[in-house]
Amino acid sequence: MLQAIEAEISPDGQVTLLEPVHLAQRSRAVVTILAPIDETAPKRGSSATLLSVLDSPEFASAKPGDPDRMEREITANRALAEEA
């Protein structure tokens, strides 16, 4: 069974898995190096962290966004992507 796990790799080759992995036996892996990490971006969490946010009172009481504004932003972003 194929399974994707997010990880970070330091310049010296140290691999840090960003979520727990449970394997029944020793397994092989393929590592794909992606774009460098933007250290200024907010840190990502686990799916458990996301679920805790979705279950929070703050999220439950948040007002929904303006769908017309969101649609305008999506349309503008698509136009920019087509120009690139």
Compute the CA torsion angle 58, 59, 63, 69 (nearest 10 deg). 130
1 lies in some domain: no
Per-residue pLDDT of the chain (84 residues; tens, 9 = 90+): 678 888 999 999 999 998 889 899 999 999 888 888 877 776 667 777 888 888 999 999 998 899 999 999 999 999 998 887
Q: What is the pLDDT of residue 52?
A: 85
28 lies in some domain: yes
50 lies in some domain: yes
2 lies in some domain: no
Q: What is the span of the domain harbouring residue 48?
A: 7-35+44-83
C-alpha angle with apex 70: 83 to 79, nearest 5 degrees?
A: 10
The reported pTM is 0.43
In the chain, how many domains are there?
1
Nearest alpha-carbon partner for 5 in 22, 38, 13 = 22
Q: 59: Cβ–Cβ under 8 A, 6 or more apart, which residues?
A: 53
19 lies in some domain: yes
